[in-house]
Amino acid sequence: MKNFNLDAILEAMLKMSDRVSDLNFSVGRQPQVEVDGQLAPVNFPGLPRLTPYQTEMIAMHMLRGDREATRTLIQNGSVDISYSIPGKTRFRVNVFSQRGTYAIVLRVIPEGIPSLEALKMPKELFNVPKLKNGIVLVTGPTGSGKSTTLAALIHQINLENAYHILTIEDPVEYMHRHLKSTVNQREVGSDTKTFALALRAALRQAPKVILIGEMRDVETIEIAMEAAETGHLVLSTLHTIDAAKTVDRIIGVFPKDQEPQIRTRLSQSFRYVVSQRLLPKVGGGRVAALEILKSTMRTRDYIVKGESDGRSLTDAMHDGSVDGMQTFDDEIEKLWNAGVISKETALAYATNPTNLALRMTDEPTSAPKPQDDSSMLSLLE
């Protein structure tokens, strides 16, 4: 890798498949790409495996002399940055230290901003851009497509309304152009020190819509609720596995003596919790399953008073299809019945695999369908 051209290496790795989601540089391994959730090595002549020196070269090249990012890497052991091949591909990058060496993981940011139609989102989500205030959360594990869904929602608002939209991200991923709305995008690290600081300032910057890349701490969650209560539409993400756990996480970050107050505030301010999982399809590729919790009289009551036997948010979602709600297990069962996923995959990704297994017959009702490469869902995030 003497006098190596990193951009050429990245481009060669991207050509391994049209479904590459991540690039991985780790000591002792060849460069690797992640396709449909599985790592695969990329063979480069004279590069059987990466050395500590080589991964450090790659890390320093991506940091591009950014003193603040370099200081964060040294002090915290990891740093989030963005990187781009000029005019071609953008990446969200995490550089981190492990056993005294550096490793680098790059998440591919798909070119352009997908529409809700292209992502084949449920009809209920088309109502989100029409909201005037409140909190909308998109949740799920890393790599489940949260950023892509949020970008599509912001893009739809940008197309339909003459608003001031403010995003606070770490780092900025999708680049939004000014369309009908004016979109300002702030990056944690370069434009502001923390999410909380930027969010406090946002309340004085007259936005109608605020996108928070991630609600990481109690201060950010507190200000987000305050923003929603004062007439802003707030969109954000949490790393939670389903809608019910999202409610628990938000309430759980506050002191116990504040729980009744937080339950009331959350019930009044939330509009939707959308949880996502990417499941491997029969024949290759991945498909998204979505769970949707919507603010209704019943769900607000369950949040205020807490869940109990016969009073669960999952039950409310299962019974609330007429309101546009849906549960993971119901959607996973539909995918299995359509032959899109295997029974093993369905049970592995289910919220309650025991109950789902009882509902599933030995064979799906439909024959497996050919892979649909036109869907952008397999390329989420």
Residue 42 maps to which CATH number?
3.30.450.90
N residues, the chain: 381
Total number of domains constituting the chain? 2
Identify the pLDDT of residue 86.
87
**Boundary of a domain, candidates 61, 79, 109:** 109
**Boundary of a domain, candidates 71, 87, 109:** 109
What is the C-alpha to C-alpha distance for residues 219 and 232, in angstroms, rounded to an integer?
A: 17
Mean pLDDT of the 183-193 span? 91
Identify the pLDDT of residue 112.
85
Residues 288, 148 share a domain: yes
Residues 220, 84 share a domain: no
pLDDT at 374 over 70: no
Return the higher-pLDDT residue of 375 and 113.
Answer: 113
Residues 374, 285 share a domain: yes
Residue 41 in any domain: the answer is yes
Mean pLDDT of the 174-192 span? 93
Residue 197 in any domain: the answer is yes
**Boundary of a domain, candidates 77, 109, 141:** 109
The residue among 136, 378, 379 whose CA lies nearest residue 270 is 136
pLDDT at 129 over 50: yes
Residues 316, 267 share a domain: yes
Residues 81, 135 share a domain: no
Residues 211, 354 share a domain: yes
pLDDT level of residue 381 (50, 70, 90 thresholds) = very low
Residue 115 in any domain: the answer is no
Average per-residue pLDDT for the chain = 91
Residues 139, 85 share a domain: no
Name the phi and psi angles at 326, rounded to 5: -160, 155
What is the C-alpha to C-alpha distance for residues 141 and 135, in angstroms, rounded to an integer?
A: 20
Residues 129, 60 share a domain: no
Report the percentage of the chain scoring pLDDT > 90.
Answer: 79
CATH at residue 292? 3.40.50.300
Kindly give the residue spans of alpha helices, DSSP state H, lying in 145-206: 146-160, 195-202
Residue 114 in any domain: the answer is no
Residues 216, 173 share a domain: yes
What is the C-alpha to C-alpha distance for residues 296 and 302, in angstroms, rounded to an integer?
A: 10
Residue 13 in any domain: the answer is yes
Note the Cα 374 to chain centre separation in Å.
21
pLDDT digits (tens, 9 = 90+) for 314-357: 999 999 999 999 999 999 999 999 999 999 999 999 999 999 99
Mean pLDDT of the 236-243 span? 95
pLDDT digits (tens, 9 = 90+) for 288-307: 999 999 999 999 999 999 99
Identify the pLDDT of residue 4.
66
- Determine contact, residues 108/370, Cβ cutoff 8 Å: no
Residue 94 in any domain: the answer is yes
pLDDT digits (tens, 9 = 90+) for 93-106: 999 999 999 999 99
Residue 51 in any domain: the answer is yes
Domain with 136 in it: 123-379
Residues 298, 156 share a domain: yes
